[in-house]
Amino acid sequence: MYAFEYQRPATLADAVAALTRSEDARPLSGGMTLLPTLKQRLAQPSELVDLSGVPDLQGVREEDGALLIGAFTRHADVAAGETVRRRIPALARLAESIGDRQVRNRGTLGGSIANADPAADYPAAVVALNATVRTDRREIAGDDFFTGLFETALEPGELVVGVRFPVPDAAAYAKFRHPASRYALVGVFVARFGAEVRLAVTGAGPSVFRVPEMETALASDFRPEAIAGITVDADGLNGDIHAAPDYRAHLVTVMARRAVAACG
């Protein structure tokens, strides 16, 4: 790790001010990606702004029939939280499937989505649940938040404060784990809101994406069989030594079917 300065502000305003003051300052949330990156000397921030002391980023609450989850809520707390388990059990189960126990005890929702790792789990939920990302300065629709490989709509210095998840009628997440890293090689989150179905895929491409053809088919027939014949184009999907693009494309259909089946 290169040397850096460190501070732990007590308010959102102080955190934003610290991040705005220096171009090279980075927010530190759970640190599950940032710290390994620093250990490998792949980044050299001048300052880390630890968000753990900011009360505005914490907690889960219901708001107008939706769930508002603070950015600093750890995966373990989303997984075990009574409100989340009752209102959107699929989201709790997704959180329970992230990384391992120790990662879930540190990693946070805000950190995960701001990092926008192509293999992260939360992006699939944010997009499929049509969530809204709240920042210190605005609201961003889930569909507009993830803009590319490790890229989001966040401006420099802009902080995720929380995510507002509408409550679906049914939802499920099916993940195929990378054999080594155990990140999502392909993860599919499907959510049904009345007649509308949204389906988002993580892991397979450079960034989370929806599959409109599957959504349309499921809107009229919400059964796994309805999408069994629908495949995504392998062009542009990720490929590595564990999974070439065509295999990932195949897994999208399989995982999508399993997610629908898991909706019961």
Selected from 179, 194, 229, 264, the binder of other proteins by CB under 8 A is 179
Which residues are CB-contacts of 21 (< 8 A; sequence separation ≥ 6)? none
Which residues are CB-contacts of 153 (< 8 A; sequence separation ≥ 6)? 140, 144, 145, 146, 147
Q: Least separation, in Å, of the C-beta of 134 and other proteins?
A: 25
Which of 64, 101 has the CB closer to other proteins? 101
Which residues share a beta bridge with 211? none
Selected from 5, 144, 151, 221, the binder of other proteins by CB under 8 A is 5
Indicate whether 41 belongs to the interface with other proteins (CB under 8 A): yes
Candidate ranges 2-10, 57-65, 82-90, 210-218; the one touching other proteins (CB under 8 A) = 2-10
Which of 219, 254 has the CB closer to other proteins? 254
The rounded distance, in Å, linking the Cα atoms of 77 and 108 is 9
Selected from 35, 170, 219, 262, the binder of other proteins by CB under 8 A is 35
Indicate whether 262 belongs to the interface with other proteins (CB under 8 A): no
CA distances to 109, 136, 166, 226, 249 from 60, in Å: 11, 17, 13, 35, 35
Indicate whether 38 belongs to the interface with other proteins (CB under 8 A): yes
Q: How many CA atoms lie within 13 A of 163 on its CB side?
A: 28
Which of 32, 208 has the CB closer to other proteins? 32
Alpha-carbon dihedral angle through residues 52, 57, 62, 68, given to the nearest 10 degrees: -110
Helix (H, G, I), strand (E, B) or coil at 98: coil
The rounded distance, in Å, linking the Cα atoms of 55 and 25 is 20
| DSSP symbol at 59 | -
Selected from 85, 166, 182, 222, the binder of other proteins by CB under 8 A is 182
x-or-dash pattern for other proteins, window 96-135, by CB under 8 A?
Answer: ---xxxxx-xx-----------------------------
Instruction: Report which residue type is found at 252.
Output: V
Per-residue DSSP letters for 193-260?
Answer: ETTEEEEEEESSSSS-EE-HHHHHHHHH--SGGGGTT-----TT---BTTB-HHHHHHHHHHHHHHHH
Which of 7, 216 has the CB closer to other proteins? 7
Count of residues of this chain found to bind other proteins when the rule CB under 8 A is applied: 41
Which of 12, 244 has the CB closer to other proteins? 244
Site for other proteins in 205-224 (CB under 8 A): none
The residue ranges that bind other proteins (CB under 8 A) are 1-6, 8, 28, 31-32, 35-36, 38-41, 48, 50, 52, 76, 99-103, 105-106, 176, 179-182, 240-244, 247, 250-251, 254
